Amino acid sequence: MDSRAGESVEMVSVDRLAAADLDPVTPDDVLSWVALPERGQADVETLAAAAERARRSHRILIGIGTPSADLEELLDALSFTFHDGTVDHLNTVQVSSIEDAAAEVDKAVGATPLASMTCTGLLRMTESLRVRDGLVAESLAYSTLQSGPEFTRWLKGDRRHGQSDSGESIRVRRDGDRLTVVLDRPTMHNAIDAAMRDQLVDALDLALIDDTIEDVVLCGRGKSFCSGGFLDEFGSTPDPATAHLIRTQHRPGEQLHRLAQRMGPRCVAHVHGAVIGGGLEIAAFAGSVVADPQSFFRLPEVSMGLIPGAGGTVSVSRRVGRWRAAWMMLTGNAIDAETALRWNLVDDVHTASPAI
């Protein structure tokens, strides 16, 4: 360790990374910081060797420094890179204070190191898998973490979200060749419980079965598109293996992906207000995502000792890249509609929504 980006964050040089493998991960040591060299200060062979060792490592590797063309292979191999310049690059996250941003990630990863390492490793894996295979891998990783100490600790906390509603929580409307599917639990900010998920699966099945449906619109009623999963049901399945079976048989995100393959941008998700967790993960599979200007987007599952479990390691990473997806997942930070548009998480920003 040869330099620091803050009082508690130790840095690894590219020369050190290229020379030998970093320490193996342990349950309380999964993160390393890599100091990027200035343009021209490292030779091609050293950068290539550093990138290769980064790809082999199970550690979370976060770069700090100024991106440049000669660093592209290394930037691609890292989990992501912080910089405070003006470059808007797919595998970097621009921040106003590198020291503050690094301290925030250090604290977040320190709180849930097992979930954090699982998340970044899975993101590397799913970027080369087909959507269906990526969803299976995500579910298996999610089930593994459900039996882990970090999620167990979260379950013991106060996570009460309110009572689950009875009755229909999905409204479906057919207008000619258009099917509109509305999340309709407005008092719960459209939090997705098991009943709502099953109704959503049934609604999307209609569009998959009926070839005369040429447009699908997914939207939400109330102040929010969707605040994520219904927290009171987290950990309520009999065991992680059963939970995996349920997830693989009830995947609205995969259904929306299949519809997007058939319809392209005519399979559209209109989002507004809170677009959190599973709500974001599902919507990101749509052929087009249109956001209200006041929308905000978060993926908080890693802080609970889990990973996104509704397809987000596949859908979100395919939109924003695995690097920015990793930053969103590790920190749980919200991004606004303007950032979401710049990062390609959404395709358009305007106020029109069919359900608000």
At 174, is the secondary structure helix, strand, or coil? strand
Quote the pLDDT of residue 250.
73
H or E stretch at 199: helix 194-209
Give per-residue pLDDT as tens, 119-142.
Answer: 999 999 999 999 999 999 999 999
Q: What is the pLDDT of residue 10?
A: 77
What ranges do the domains of the chain cover? 3-111, 130-349
State both tokens at 151.
């999620």
pLDDT of residue 229: 79
Alpha carbon 76 to chain centroid distance?
18
**Residues linked to residue 2 through DSSP beta bridges, in sequence order:** none
Share of the chain above pLDDT 70, in %: 92
State how far the Cα of 146 lies from the Cα of 310, in Å rounded to an integer.
14
Residue with tokens 């930037």: 75
DSSP state of 154: H
Q: Which helix (H) or strand (E) holds 10?
A: strand 10-13
pLDDT digit string (tens) for 289-331?
Answer: 999 999 999 999 999 999 999 999 999 999 999 999 999 999 9
What is the rounded (10 degree) CA torsion for 34, 340, 142, 29?
20
Query: What string of DSSP letters covers 31-89?
Result: EEEEEPPPTTSS-HHHHHHHHHHHHH--SEEEEES---GGGHHHHHHSSEEEE-SS---
Long-range CB contacts (< 8 A, 24+ apart) of 186-189? 186/220, 186/221, 186/222, 186/223, 187/162, 187/222, 188/161, 188/162, 188/227, 188/230, 189/222, 189/223, 189/224, 189/226, 189/227, 189/273, 189/274
Query: What's the rounded mean pLDDT across residues 181-188?
Result: 94
What is the helix (H) or strand (E) element at residue 3, kind and residue range?
Answer: strand 3-4
- Whether the predicted pLDDT of 355 surpasses 80: no
Residue 98 has pLDDT above 70, yes or no: yes
C-alpha dist (Å) from residue 301 to 8, 55, 70, 98, 322: 25, 25, 35, 24, 16
At 194, is the pLDDT very low, low, confident or very high (cuts 50, 70, 90)? confident
Give the right CATH number for 130-349 from 3.40.50.10420, 1.20.1250.20, 3.40.640.10, 3.90.226.10: 3.90.226.10
pTM to 2 decimal places? 0.92
